[in-house]
């Protein structure tokens, strides 16, 4: 099975998730700057979630450059990832509307954690589908970022439980370490002279 339709479907879902969240941004009640300021929390979390979905799209894109064939397990592992990502608008909105209360912050952290684990499982499913000589396995290497991210999310979720909104710092840190472009696969593609 080729990867083109899996990529197209994932692109569609991610495009919708990233765009749908703007519907949760409540239009200010009045015409003044102070009215806009009431939307500030919403704006901040919108940016954060936009960046997360952007990162996932980016990594997904890099990853599938090195995948030649997929099977049914990979399709479901991919849907599983999309499921957790599809909940971002929900947990983001809950966090906003409660002004960053503790439980919604924990729920958001758990959502981020679940998506990170789902991404990891998707990678494993691809490794298995491609066998021992898969390109992705070699390109991913030790995958430090992929292993550290869930730990930081977990720490952030605990911090949310204990201390509330400062947990957002943990969540933002993960975004920051991924925003640095992941050159592993680009360089792997370049070194090995691979073209799609």
Contact (Cβ atoms closer than 8 angstroms) between residue 90 and residue 20: no
CA 151-182-95 angle, to 5 degrees, is: 45
Check binding of 143 to a second copy (CB under 8 A). Answer: no
Which of these, 29, 26, 23, 54, lies nearest to 41 by C-alpha position?
A: 26
Check binding of 32 to a second copy (CB under 8 A). Answer: yes
180's torsion region: left (phi>0), alpha (psi -120 to 50) or beta?
A: beta
Q: Residue 27 CB, nearest distance to a second copy (Å)?
A: 5
Torsion of CA 183, 188, 194, 196, to 10 degrees: -40
Q: How many of the chain's residues bind a second copy (CB under 8 A)? A: 64
Contact (Cβ atoms closer than 8 angstroms) between residue 15 and residue 82: no
Contact pick of 151, 163, 169, 186 for a second copy (by CB under 8 A): 186
Residue 171: both structure tokens together:
């969540």
Region of 111-119, 130-138, 148-156, 182-190 interacting with a second copy (CB under 8 A): 182-190
Contact pick of 41, 44, 61, 158 for a second copy (by CB under 8 A): 61
Residues binding a second copy (CB under 8 A): 1-2, 5-9, 11-20, 22-23, 25, 27-28, 30-33, 36, 47, 50, 54, 57-58, 61-62, 65, 71-73, 75-76, 79, 82-83, 86-87, 89-90, 93-94, 97-98, 101-104, 107, 179, 181-183, 186, 189, 195-196
């Amino acid at each position: 099975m080729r990867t083109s339709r899996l990529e197209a479907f994932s692109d569609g879902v991610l495009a919708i998730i990233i765009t749908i969240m703007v519907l949760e941004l409540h239009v200010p009640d009045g015409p003044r700057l102070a009215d806009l300021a009431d939307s500030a929390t919403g704006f901040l979390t919108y940016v954060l979630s936009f960046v997360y979905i952007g990162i996932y799209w980016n990594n997904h894109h890099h990853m599938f450059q090195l995948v030649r064939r997929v099977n049914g397990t990979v399709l479901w592992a991919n849907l599983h990832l999309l499921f957790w990502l599809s909940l971002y608008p929900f947990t983001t909105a809950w966090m906003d509307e409660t002004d960053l209360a503790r439980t919604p912050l924990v729920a958001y952290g758990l959502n981020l954690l679940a998506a990170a684990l789902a991404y990891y499982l998707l990678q494993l499913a691809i490794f298995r589908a491609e066998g021992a000589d898969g390109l992705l396995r070699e390109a991913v290497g030790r995958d430090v970022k992929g292993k550290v991210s869930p730990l930081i999310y977990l720490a952030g979720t605990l911090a949310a439980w204990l201390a509330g909104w400062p947990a957002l710092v943990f969540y933002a840190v993960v975004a920051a370490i991924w925003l640095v472009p992941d050159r592993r696969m680009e360089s792997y593609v370049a070194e090995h002279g691979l073209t799609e």
